[in-house]
């Protein structure tokens, strides 16, 4: 066995073999895969082998589309069969909400190039005749759906990787991984030690244990999963063509043809986590004991939906474990806090997602970044606060909701509240309706009187609509207050801090006492951060950005660390409040002896507010006159008492994130991971106005940004006023220009102050002209929309800057 390699991939399931193949495809041939047993041991061998493109996250859906199309390529490269059955698939809708979800997904598919279609119950009866369509109001048909041979496909990946120069060693158990001072790894196995520049954890059911060898906790958990294969069924084997897949969310089941019979699997409510305290090392090609009791209700429902099942005998039962992350998406990418250690695990839909995961990880390792935004599966989306005690209930919740309707405003309850600020009980008593971000409870809005303290999930305007309008009015007419805990915050210090920031950030780094807004770019010029930079001295700066992306950003900072500069993540060491609105200056002045009126827009100043030492920044995402007031968490309640005592008589009103996202639309402000993400460049989204091309620094991404400055990109972010009905734009709705899909929405909603339904969208730059009229598809309805070139609130910035 070789003793050195550029990459050691641990795990020989479909994901590990896909990673290995894609590394060779992109040019790295000195790569090695280690499997403790045989290829496919673990979850791969007993998988049902189905694949589909449907996914609530658009980038994940695109990667699933890539995976499915890859199988023909693998067959051509290797001469091996993947056992492909492209039979198409139908997802059923038995209620209006589920149908709305499918219609919204179909709309997204229009600009993604996926040829799905909405079909009627009559169509379903023809396409999938064993389906009882009673109670069904429609469905989504996807011609790409199908199934394959799990073992054959995995071995095809393996052969293609070997053809590219890779080595695969089976019956080699990894026992320890130890990092050397230079960042490389010693991978110690039962057959010797391998020195690897990079390690990839693709260990599937054993990913937790392999991660622990490197001192890292990966938030995933195995769940028991059961599917049945029937005896031969005349309604199936007498057909002229193979029966398509049928996904029945109401019955929490998926069904497909298997030989001359059927295969049906369930995501039952009385589900069970497996191997709670660790996966046994000697587990491999075993199955779990049959357990019909937990799927009894599911089977009864399936008999009604597919009556043929009641007459079909059970040929075999496959009951085995596979892993989930807390939100159901994979855990992929460089593990924060470690050098050259990569995750490729938690891929519970391996034959839908494995190809895309392999491609993204290989791009990440070789090119330094991926071709699209991968945050939905980035291992950094969970911070170091996460524990097995949090992961397990979230995984159970996700399993139970595998086929549930996913609403844009939904807040799932499991493992909550987990992290709270000192204001949690105070805001709860004031009617706070809570959401969560990165494990933190965040107030979405405040209910009053007999209003419910739970927002009903909906694709349309929800029961938070009136409360949001009330809070928006308070901010615009008097003043509003909310927490600033849910900002990611970093302290950058040292003699080289300014020089380092000038290279990391594309924008201008401010002088002492000032702040600036700046994008952070990848080497290819993609947007990877949207930051406020505050300078308190030449050797000290503070950054604020997305709270949910703090681990993602910290990882980038660590990858570009230099001597003489200290980067501290202080996201939870600094908290406070934002006050905004025309009376915010008056309220703050009443709370301090400092001269608030002397603060210019974009000033930052240390001051005492009441009894509390604070750092105050004159800036507000509401687009109004406003201040961000930061303090130690131990002082937050005292700061609240001061601000509330002075502000309440002047109409100061608590407001939440629903109002914040409405207020920003009045100014056409973009939002992180909506308008600003690695999918887009600064020039596409208008963030290039914050790039400092004058500074004499080769900042990261400069070459790409300057190229777009010379030759503007083909698309441009614009705002539209939509003639909406009872539903507004959420994201990814197609934009029709001259009857054709030529763009898509990045986000939107109802701007209560201007009383307009506003959508932000990327469209061809050449189409951006005064008076442009378009149509936007919202929940299957074509809604007219007109281009807006002037923000409806404070267009000249007089109030915000005055």
pLDDT in tens, 179-200: 999 999 999 999 999 999 999 9
Residue 440 — pLDDT band, cuts 50, 70, 90?
A: very high
- Check residue 602 and give left, alpha or beta (phi > 0: left; psi -120 to 50: alpha): left
Task: Give the largest CA-CA distance in the chain.
Answer: 87
Question: Residue 652: CB partners within 8 Å, gap ≥ 6?
Answer: 478, 479, 480, 481, 579, 583, 587, 643, 644, 646
Q: Work out the angle at residue 653's Cα, subtended by the Cα atoms of residues 649 and 658, and round it to the nearest 5 degrees.
A: 175
Residue 495 confidence (pLDDT) above 90: yes
DSSP category for residue 362? H
Residue 53 confidence (pLDDT) above 90: no
CA atoms of 342 and 22, how far apart (whole Å): 14
- Check residue 171 and give left, alpha or beta (phi > 0: left; psi -120 to 50: alpha): left
Task: Give the pLDDT of residue 85.
Answer: 93
Task: Give the pLDDT of residue 45.
Answer: 83
CB 413 within 8 A of CB 396: no
Q: Which residue has the tokens 């009866």?
A: 125
* pLDDT one-digit tens code per residue, 518-563: 999 999 999 999 999 999 999 999 999 999 999 999 999 999 999 9
* pLDDT one-digit tens code per residue, 458-473: 999 999 999 999 999 9
- Give 646-684 as a 3 state SS string: HHHHHCEEECCHHHHHHHHHCCCCCCECCCECCCCEHHH
Residue 46 — pLDDT band, cuts 50, 70, 90?
A: confident
* pLDDT one-digit tens code per residue, 127-178: 999 999 999 999 999 998 999 999 999 999 999 999 999 999 999 999 999 9
CA atoms of 724 and 721, how far apart (whole Å): 9
3-state secondary structure of 12: coil
- Rounded to the nearest integer, the mean pLDDT of the chain is 96
The total of other beta-carbon atoms located within 10 Å of residue 122's CB is 9
* pLDDT one-digit tens code per residue, 278-307: 999 999 788 999 999 999 999 999 999 999
The whole-number average pLDDT for the span 240-266 is: 96
Stronger pLDDT, 583 or 48, i.e. the higher one: 583
Residue 48 confidence (pLDDT) above 90: no
- pTM of this prediction? 0.96
Task: Give the pLDDT of residue 716.
Answer: 98
Stronger pLDDT, 769 or 65, i.e. the higher one: 769
CB 615 within 8 A of CB 542: yes
* pLDDT one-digit tens code per residue, 333-386: 999 999 999 999 999 889 999 999 999 999 999 999 999 999 999 999 999 999
The total of other beta-carbon atoms located within 10 Å of residue 769's CB is 8
Burial bucket for residue 357 (CB in 10 Å: 0-12, 13-18, 19+): buried
Task: Give the pLDDT of residue 59.
Answer: 87
3-state secondary structure of 32: strand
The whole-number average pLDDT for the span 82-91 is: 95
CA atoms of 8 and 69, how far apart (whole Å): 27
Phi/psi at 170 (5° precision): -100, 165
Name the residue among 218, 258, 265 with its Cα closest to residue 237. 258
CB 324 within 8 A of CB 126: no
Q: What does the block give as tokens for 686?
A: 């208008």
Q: What does the block give as tokens for 240?
A: 């002229």
Residue 517 — pLDDT band, cuts 50, 70, 90?
A: very high
Residue 645 confidence (pLDDT) above 90: yes
Indicate the range of 53-67, 390-404, 607-621, 783-797 predicted with least confidence. 53-67
Task: Give the pLDDT of residue 77.
Answer: 96
Residue 110 confidence (pLDDT) above 90: no
Q: What does the block give as tokens for 708?
A: 């777009």
Task: Give the pLDDT of residue 58.
Answer: 85
Phi/psi at 144 (5° precision): -80, -15
CA atoms of 701 and 2, how far apart (whole Å): 38
Instruction: Please say whether the dihedral angle defined by the alpha carbons of residues 707, 709, 710 and 716, taken in this order, is positive or negative.
Output: positive
CA atoms of 328 and 552, how far apart (whole Å): 19
Residue 114 — pLDDT band, cuts 50, 70, 90?
A: confident
Name the residue among 604, 599, 575 with its Cα closest to residue 585. 599
The whole-number average pLDDT for the span 764-771 is: 97
Task: Give the pLDDT of residue 409.
Answer: 96
Name the residue among 501, 484, 483 with its Cα closest to residue 492. 501
The whole-number average pLDDT for the span 731-748 is: 97
Which helix (H) or strand (E) covers residue 310, if one does? helix 308-311
Which helix (H) or strand (E) covers residue 186, if one does? strand 185-189
Q: What does the block give as tokens for 765?
A: 């730059």
Q: What is the percent of the chain with per-residue pLDDT over 70, rounded to a whole number?
A: 100
Residue 52 — pLDDT band, cuts 50, 70, 90?
A: confident
CB 39 within 8 A of CB 154: yes
* pLDDT one-digit tens code per residue, 203-241: 999 999 999 999 999 999 999 999 999 999 999 999 999
CA atoms of 50 and 91, how far apart (whole Å): 14
């Amino acid at each position: 066995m070789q003793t050195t390699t550029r990459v050691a991939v641990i795990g020989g399931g479909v994901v590990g073999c896909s990673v290995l193949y894609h590394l060779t495809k992109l040019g790295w041939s000195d790569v090695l895969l280690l499997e403790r047993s045989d290829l496919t041991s673990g979850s791969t061998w007993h998988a049902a082998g189905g694949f589909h493109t449907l996914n609530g996250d658009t980038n994940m859906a695109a990667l699933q589309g890539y995976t499915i199309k890859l199988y023909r390529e693998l067959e051509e490269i290797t001469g091996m069969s993947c056992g492909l059955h492209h039979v198409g698939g139908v997802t059923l809708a038995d209620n209006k909400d589920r149908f709305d979800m499918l219609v919204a997904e179909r709309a997204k598919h229009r600009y993604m190039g996926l040829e799905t279609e909405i079909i009627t119950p009559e169509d379903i009866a023809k396409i999938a005749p064993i389906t009882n369509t009673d109670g069904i109001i429609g469905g989504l048909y996807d011609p790409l759906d199908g199934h394959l041979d799990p073992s054959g496909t995995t071995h095809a990946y393996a052969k293609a990787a070997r053809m590219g120069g890779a080595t695969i060693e089976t019956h080699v158990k990894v026992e320890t991984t130890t990092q050397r001072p230079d960042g490389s790894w010693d991978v110690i196995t039962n057959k010797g030690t391998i020195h690897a520049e990079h390690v990839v954890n693709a260990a599937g059911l054993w990913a937790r244990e392999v991660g622990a060898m490197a001192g890292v906790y990966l938030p995933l958990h195995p769940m028991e999963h059961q599917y049945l294969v029937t005896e031969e069924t005349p309604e199936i084997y007498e057909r002229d063509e193979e029966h398509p897949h049928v996904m029945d969310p109401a019955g929490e089941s998926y069904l497909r043809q298997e030989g001359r019979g059927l295969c049906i699997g369930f995501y039952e409510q009385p589900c069970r986590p497996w191997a709670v305290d660790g996966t046994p090392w000697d587990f491999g090609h075993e199955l779990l004991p049959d357990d019909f009791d937990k799927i009894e209700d599911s089977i009864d429902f399936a008999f009604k939906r597919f009556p043929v099942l009641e007459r079909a005998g059970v040929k075999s039962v496959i009951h085995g474990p596979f892993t989930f992350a807390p939100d159901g998406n994979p855990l992929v990418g460089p593990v924060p806090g470690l050098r050259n250690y990569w995750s490729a695990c938690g891929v519970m839909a391996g034959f839908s997602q494995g190809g895309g995961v392999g491609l993204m990880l290989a791009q990440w390792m070789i090119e330094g970044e991926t071709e699209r935004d991968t945050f939905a599966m980035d291992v950094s989306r969970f911070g170091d606060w996460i524990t097995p005690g949090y992961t397990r209930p979230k995984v159970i919740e996700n399993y139970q909701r595998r086929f549930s309707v996913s609403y844009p405003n939904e807040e799932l309850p499991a493992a909550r509240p987990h992290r709270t600020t000192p204001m949690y009980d105070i805001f709860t008593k004031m009617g706070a309706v809570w959401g969560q971000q990165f494990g933190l409870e965040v107030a979405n809005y405040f209910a009053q009187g007999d209003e419910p303290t739970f927002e009903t999930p909906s694709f349309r305007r929800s029961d938070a609509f009136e409360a949001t309008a009330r809070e928006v009015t308070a901010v615009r007419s008097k003043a509003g207050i909310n927490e600033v805990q849910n900002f990611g915050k970093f302290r950058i210090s040292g003699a080289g801090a300014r020089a380092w920031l000038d290279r990391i950030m594309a924008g201008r780094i401010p002088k002492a006492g000032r702040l600036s807004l700046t994008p952070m770019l990848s080497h290819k010029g993609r947007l990877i951060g949207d930051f406020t930079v505050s300078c308190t001295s030449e050797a000290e700066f503070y950054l604020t950005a997305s709270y949910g992306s703090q681990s993602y950003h910290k990882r980038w900072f660590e990858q570009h660390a230099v001597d003489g500069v200290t980067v501290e993540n202080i996201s939870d060491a600094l908290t406070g409040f934002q006050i905004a609105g025309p009376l915010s200056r008056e309220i703050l002045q009443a709370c301090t002896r400092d001269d608030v009126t002397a603060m210019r827009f974009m000033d930052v100043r240390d001051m005492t507010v009441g009894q509390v030492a604070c750092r105050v920044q004159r800036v507000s995402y509401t687009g109004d006159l406003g201040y961000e007031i930061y303090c130690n968490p131990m002082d937050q309640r005292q700061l609240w008492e001061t601000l509330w005592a002075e502000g309440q008589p002047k109409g100061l009103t608590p407001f939440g994130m629903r109002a914040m996202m409405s207020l920003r639309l009045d100014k056409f402000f973009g939002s992180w991971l909506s308008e600003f993400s690695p999918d887009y460049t600064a020039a596409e989204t208008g963030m290039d106005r914050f790039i400092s091309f004058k500074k004499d620094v080769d900042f990261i991404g400069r070459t790409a940004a300057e190229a777009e400055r010379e030759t503007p990109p083909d698309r441009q972010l614009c705002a539209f006023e939509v003639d909406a009905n009872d539903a507004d734009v959420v994201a990814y709705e197609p934009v029709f220009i001259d009857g054709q899909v030529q763009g898509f929405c990045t986000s939107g909603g109802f701007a209560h102050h201007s009383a307009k339904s506003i959508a932000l969208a990327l469209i061809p730059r050449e189409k951006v002209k005064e008076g442009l009229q378009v149509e936007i598809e919202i929940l299957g309805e074509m809604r007219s929309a007109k281009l807006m070139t002037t923000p409806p609130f404070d267009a000249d910035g007089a109030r915000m800057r005055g």
